[in-house]
Structure 1
């Protein structure tokens, strides 16, 4: 399989070990790169490193490709080889394809030949082990140890689905960013997998590297123009309509509320960073609101990480719904953050097990509401009440995975009964289904 166009691989090390790093987002790739730089995957040259790129969008052909993102080549330069998972499984979709059990050994031989792996032992470094393509990789390389890196706030929630024991027993650790200092991930703990922090300085260095790459990119003019407008606030768009959480009109209004709140807080120059797949009409509505409120609006819609903007033009405020980029702004750049619509989205989230529930819970607990009475702030260490809340929500999401947390969850619900917002986290129907309401009343 050919090396990805535009990337010059490093000289191949003389080693009999192979590490395959599966990535689908630039943020995730940056996390993996930071772990490598921090020495969490051994010294350079001790293993041949393969970057496996996957595009998991619903229609990959129409989505922004990772290889086109500004800074991607800087990340890819850390690897000895770059291969494409979509090409490997074509014409199947990477989010749905998996080998039949009896075909897995054959697929391993095919991929070893295509990627020139020979007979070397393979280690897997994957994101979201509970879904494809990570699950499919683990099935193909059935004897390989697995390392999981967490791409954002979902690591603080429970494992989405039960894993085959043949996979779970091979997972060595969960590598994660310290996005909420002091809060420990719940992900994969039911299998006894420990968490390991990715070094803060290493991650910040990678983000700085990506931002430097933007100076030589096609997006440099857009960033320069955005900086010239002297913006003081950045609004983060999310594409919640495609997830069926909000309608397109509701999500458009959510972005307008972000702008309105920033204007009310005194920000006269604002940048909007839309989700790459968001409709152009979102920006149109924002421009109309900006004209009405007298705010200068710049839309930054190129293939850029929001963190690139943090490096190039340090804002005084970052606003979002529950985007990981909000916490990145606070933790790694010291930028005050505020949320809009988080409670509304949490109330709409179905089913209860939806893996966005814990990110919404975390953001709702530690980030001030822009439309409320609390000023934007830089959240510090996890407040005392956050971990018990997250654990109780995690239990209610996956009770069979964490039966030992039942009493703890019941105690939390009983202790906070009647408090505003409790039903948002623990709807009566869910408590009744788990027989927790009766237990808490006893």
Structure 2
């Protein structure tokens, strides 16, 4: 029987490879088909998963690789979903196109709440579904309610154990049991990929694509990267490697070069398709800096690198709506990792009850899906207060988690009061 896997990022494909190597999908006795999708805003000019150098080390685990972009062209894979009345017909056509006969034995997807994964789950029916996590997002609540037909087929959640002791909220409302993938399996995949020639840097700056997500403006994101560079330069690092996000392109690097010249820093730029973990393993840098990238956690956990976050408080303030899926990753990073200041100083965050914080924020994000977390949220707020960094007062008030002060009523004294009474008479 055929197993169908889906991935939109090299990090996701690496996670799949680690799970395969750990035997989480059984012996390789049947056909394994990998669907890859390029979900970049303009996929025509952005390398896809199967076009990256590191993918060659993963490719052998699958018998066939197909492009979801080509199947749904000219539509964008992140936007298209079949209409309800079309599902049976399009599902049959997809099975025929993929050579799946009556359907696969298992469907393995990421980010189940949104297309393309949700689209695939609706089209490929009558088989169990395995969901694997997308980094730190597995610790947050499910983004959108899932149809019963899809939720009832999900049998497990595979995730990297990025924060030991913290249980994922993802799919908890559907009773799905999480299963951690050992660090050694993921580290083995990183070893197999290998680093390109020419990587150099005493410190590494991790780029993200916050402007593309609408969290910051282009200018603000460029200023954040420049502040990171200024901070690592203040710590005495003269050679710095900038690792752009795969979906961000090269524009961030071009802007950062100007700042590097003014600071007298030798800025090197890693290929955007090379995983950050590969860069950190090869360089063993003295410092890794980012905003709320999952690579901050993997760098510290897998390679013992010193890491620091910068700009996370601004991101937490800007994230809209409150239930934005990036809120839990940003919360975890902000609450657990040292914070880098522009002058180069690094300070540890205050001690945090991380499980309590994540459950409280998760309840505020998706209270209707996770009513069982209300008591945990009440306990956390009673113990720590409504920290403005992580909670919005309007959201807390709407959920009845804080008392709303009575509306202010003008007193009867003073000239205005006397005038009102005179007019009344």
**What TM-score, normalized by structure 2, do the two folds share?**
0.90
Q: Is 1:43 the counterpart of 2:11 in the alignment?
A: no
1:389 maps to 2:357: yes
Aligned to 1:296: 266
CA contact (8 A) 1:56 1:94 kept: yes
Does 2:14 match 1:30? Answer: yes
Larger CA deviation: 183-192 vs 134-143: 134-143
Distance 1:24 1:440 in 2: 47
Does 2:393 align with 1:428?
Answer: yes
SS of the counterpart of 2:50? Answer: helix
Deviation at 1:280, TM superposition (A): 4.5
Kindly tell me: are residues 155 and 248 of structure 1, through their superposed partners in 2, closer, same or farther at Cα, counting changes over 3 Å? same
- CA distance change for structure 1 residues 119 and 282 in 2, over 3 Å: closer, same or farther? closer
CA contact (8 A) 1:368 1:374 kept: no
In structure 2, how many angstroms separate the alpha carbons of the residues matched to 1:279 and 1:55? Answer: 14
Shift of 1:120: 5.1
Conserved 8 A contact 2:40-2:247: no
| Alignment size in residue pairs | 404
Distance 2:3 2:402 in 1: 48
In structure 2, the partner of 1:406 is 374
Q: Deviations over 1:291-310 (max 9, x none)?
A: 33332211223421112212
- The aligned residue for residue 292 of structure 2 is 322
After superposition, give the CA deviation of every residue in 1:90-114 in whole Å (9 maximum; x if it has no partner): 2222112222333222223222221
Q: Which of 107, 113, 123 pairs up with 2:90?
A: 107
1:53 aligns with 2:18: no
Instruction: Tell me how far apart the structure 2 counterparts of residues 87 and 57 of structure 1 sit (CA, whole Å).
Output: 14
Return the offset for 1:274: 1.6
Larger radius of gyration: 2
Structure 1's 130 and 250: CA in aligned 2 closer, same or farther, altered over 3 A?
A: same
User: What are the Cα deviations for residues 42-79 of structure 1, in whole angstroms up to 9, with x where unaligned?
Assistant: 0122x321101111122221222112211112212111
Cα drift, residue 386 of structure 1? 0.4
Matched-pair contact (CA < 8 Å) for 1:130–1:160:
yes
Cα drift, residue 281 of structure 1: 4.7
Contact 1:122/1:141 (8 A) holds in 2: no
Post-superposition Cα deviations, 1:4-49, rounded to whole Å, max 9, x if no partner, equal xxxxxxxxxxxxx11100000000000011000000110122x321
Q: Report which stretch shifted further, 52-61 or 282-291.
A: 282-291
Query: Which residue is equivalent to 2:282?
Result: 312
| Match in the other structure for 1:19 | 3
Contact 2:103 2:127 in 1 (8 A): no
Q: From 180, 183, 193, give the equivalent of 1:197.
A: 180
CA, structure 1 residues 236+440, in 2 after alignment: closer, same or farther (shift >3 Å)?
farther
Whether the 8 Å contact between 1:336 and 1:376 is mirrored in structure 2 is no
Q: Which residue of 2 aligns with 1:147?
A: 130
1:202 positional shift:
0.9
> Which 5+ residue runs of structure 2 have no aligned equivalent?
407-425
In structure 2, the partner of 1:437 is 402
**For 1:279 and 1:138, how far apart are their aligned partners in 2?**
30
For 1:439 and 1:392, how far apart are their aligned partners in 2? 19
Q: Are the aligned partners of 2:226 and 2:256 in contact in 1 as well (CA < 8 Å)?
A: yes
CA distance in 1: counterparts of 2:154 and 2:404, whole angstroms:
35
Deviations for 1:85-143, whole angstroms, at most 9, x for unmatched residues? 11112222211222233322222322222122223543110000000111111111221
Does the 8 A contact of 1:413 with 1:440 survive in 2? Answer: no
Whether 1:252 and 2:235 are equivalent positions in the alignment is no
Shift of residue 371, structure 1, vs aligned partner = 0.9
* Conservation of the 8 A alpha-carbon contact between 1:26 and 1:305: yes
| Paired residue secondary structure (2:137) | helix
Offset at 1:289?
A: 2.5
* Equivalent-residue separation in structure 2 for 1:65 and 1:198 (angstroms): 25
Q: For 2:227, what is the secondary structure of its paired residue?
A: helix
Shift of 1:286: 2.3
Give every structure 1 segment of 4 or more consecutive aligned residues whose post-TM-superposition deviation is greater than 6 Å.
none
Query: Which piece of structure 1 moves more, 81-90 or 92-101?
Result: 92-101
Q: Do structure 1's residue 347 and structure 2's residue 317 form an aligned pair? A: yes
Using the TM superposition, give the Cα deviation of residue 406 of structure 1 relative to its aligned residue in structure 2, in angstroms: 1.1
- In 2, the alpha carbon distance for the partners of 1:74 and 1:308 equals 13
Name the Cα RMSD after superposition. Answer: 2.1
> Residue 95 in 1 paired to residue 78 in 2?
yes
